[in-house]
Every structure is written in structure tokens, then in C-alpha cells.
Amino acid sequence: MKITDKELETLKDQESKKNAIFQKIGLLEAEKHSFLHALAEVQNEQQKTFIAIEDKYGKIEVNLEDGSYTETN
């Protein structure tokens, strides 16, 4: 016994679409992984900058809009 050719074709088409979606999800996850690494690098660089600024000015809070700062304890 067999299903009809049309039913088989429908199932094959659906399987192909499903596999394409899985592939795209995999690519998006790989891209997400790269972005997370890039974010971690920027955060590490920013932390080093904050440390250098703190060494120069002491404990401060910087206004990122205009560069002004206030001292903190």
C-alpha cells in the first residue's frame, strides 16, 4: 500500500520547508553567538575605560550625554 503521489509530494514539500527553517534557525543562532562575543568584548573594553577614568578622577558617575561627572562614595 502507498499514499498518493500528491500526498507524498505534499509531505516532501513540507519536510523541505521544515528543514529550511531549521537551517535558518541554526544560522541565526550562530550569528547570535558571534554578537554575544562581540558584546562581551565591548563590555570588557568599557570596564577597562571606567577603571582608567576612576584612577584619574576617583570614584565618579559620568553623564554620557555631555561628559560631566559627579563624585560618588
pLDDT tens across 27-71, in order? 999 999 999 999 999 999 999 999 999 999 999 999 999 999 999
The residue with cell 560618588 is 72
| Residue 72 within any structural domain of the chain | yes
Is 42 within 8 Å of 48 (Cβ atoms)?
A: no
User: What pLDDT shows up at residue 21?
Assistant: 98
User: What pLDDT shows up at residue 73?
Assistant: 79
Pairing of strands 60-62, 69-71: antiparallel
| Residue 7 within any structural domain of the chain | no
Residues spanned by the domain of 52 = 38-73
Rounded mean pLDDT, 18-22 = 98
| Residue 2 within any structural domain of the chain | no
Number of domains in the chain: 1
Q: Please give the model's pTM, rounded to 2 decimal places.
A: 0.72
